[in-house]
Amino acid sequence: MATLASQSFNNWRLKLWVLDSLPRLRRGTAVSSAGNYNFAWDNNGNMTQRSANNVEGTWRNLCWDEENRLMGVTDFSEGNPDQTSAYVYNAGGERVWKFSGDIQQMTINGNQLINIANITNKTLYSSPYLVANDNNYTKHYFIESERVCSKIGGGFSNPIDPINQAIIEPINSGQPTISGNFTQHIINSISCTNTESPELNVDPVLRGIEDFIGIDENEDLQYFFVIDHLGSSSFYNTPQKIGHKVK
C-alpha cells in the first residue's frame, strides 16, 4: 500500500501517487514516461504531448484553453501532421462541436508549405439529449441524471419547427462576421498544436441532419441501459436481445 504506481483518467492524465503507511495520499507526480510513451504536461496538469519513444517522429500534441478545456489535438507521423481535431464549447463550458480529419500537405514552387485540414468528420452536441454526426443522429433519454435509453436514426420530418424570420433575425445581419470568427477559432485551435499555416477544407452542411430532415421513419435502433450500484452501465438491452455486456 506504500505506492500506487499509476492511474489513468479518461486516457488523458497519468499520475504517480505516493501514499504513507496509513495509507494517506502524500503527493501526486505527473508521469514522464510509461511503456512505449513519453509525456509532457502544463502547469495545470493537462497533457500537452504524448510521444512514442520506440517510433521516431511519432507524437501527439494537445492544446488547452485558459479554463483547461481541450481545444485541439494533432497526431504527427514521421515529423509531419497526420490527423487533427478541434473542439468548440458554449458559454456554459459544454462541448458543442467536434471537427476532425486528416491533414494534407501542399508545397508551392517547392517552398511554401500549406497544411490543409480536411474536416471530414463533424459531431454536433446540440444538448445532452441529441448528438448528430455526418452519418446519423442519436437521441438520449434520462431519468434525472441517469441515461436509460439511446435511439439511433429514424428521421425528423414533421417534428422540426419551421425556421421563420423571427428566429433568424437576431443573427441575420452579422452572419458573415460570425462565420469568419468561427472559422478562425477552429484554425487557431489547430495551430495551437504546432501545425503551421492550416487551412480548412470542410463541408458546410452536417449530412447527419441534412439527410434525415425529409425522412420520418421509426427509430428501430434502441438501447436500454442497466445501471449498477456504481452508476455505470454494465449491460444494455435492445428490443431484439437482452443482456449485451458492456466492456
Q: What's the CA gap between 117 and 203, in Å, rounded?
A: 12
Q: For 186-194, what is the mean pLDDT?
A: 95
Q: For 87-103, what is the mean pLDDT?
A: 94
Q: Is residue 33 part of a domain?
A: no
Q: What's the CA gap between 219 and 240, in Å, rounded?
A: 14
Residue linked to cell 421509426? 218
pLDDT over 60 at 119, yes or no? yes
134, 173, 210 from 102: Cα distances, Å: 16, 34, 23
pLDDT of residue 165: 59
pLDDT of residue 89: 95
Lowest mean pLDDT among 97-111, 140-154, 177-191, 217-231: 217-231
Domain count, the chain: 1
pLDDT in tens, 24-45: 555 556 788 888 899 999 988 8
pLDDT over 60 at 126, yes or no? yes
pLDDT in tens, 152-170: 888 876 655 666 656 555 5
pLDDT of residue 70: 96
Q: Residue 16: exposed, middle, or buried by beta-carbon count in 10 A (0-12, 13-18, 19+)?
A: middle
Q: Residue 89: exposed, middle, or buried by beta-carbon count in 10 A (0-12, 13-18, 19+)?
A: middle
Element (H, E) at 76: strand 70-77
Q: Is residue 129 part of a domain?
A: yes
**Is 24 strand, coil or helix?**
coil
Lowest mean pLDDT among 76-80, 132-136, 232-236: 232-236
Q: What's the CA gap between 231 and 99, in Å, rounded?
A: 30
Q: Which domain holds residue 132?
A: 65-245
Q: Are 36 and 54 in contact (CB under 8 A)?
A: yes
Q: For 200-220, what is the mean pLDDT?
A: 83
The answer for residues whose C-beta is within 8 angstroms of residue 61's C-beta and 6 or more apart is: 48, 49, 73, 74, 76, 193, 194, 195
Q: Is residue 164 part of a domain?
A: yes
Q: Locate all alpha helices (DSSP H) within 104-174, ordered by sequence.
A: 165-172
Residue linked to cell 478545456? 69
Element (H, E) at 28: strand 25-30
Q: Is residue 1 part of a domain?
A: no
Q: Is residue 20 part of a domain?
A: no
Residue (of 123, 157, 148) closest to 137 by Cα position: 123
Residue 240's CB is within 10 A of a number of other CB atoms, namely 7
Q: Is residue 221 part of a domain?
A: yes
Q: Is residue 169 part of a domain?
A: yes
Q: For 173-193, what is the mean pLDDT?
A: 88
Q: Is residue 86 part of a domain?
A: yes
pLDDT of residue 206: 87
Residue (of 212, 103, 106) closest to 157 by Cα position: 212
Supply the DSSP symbol for 12: T
Between 8 and 15, where is the model more confident? 15
Mean pLDDT of the chain: 80
Lowest mean pLDDT among 2-11, 117-126, 194-203, 214-223: 2-11
The pTM for the full model equals: 0.75
pLDDT of residue 1: 40
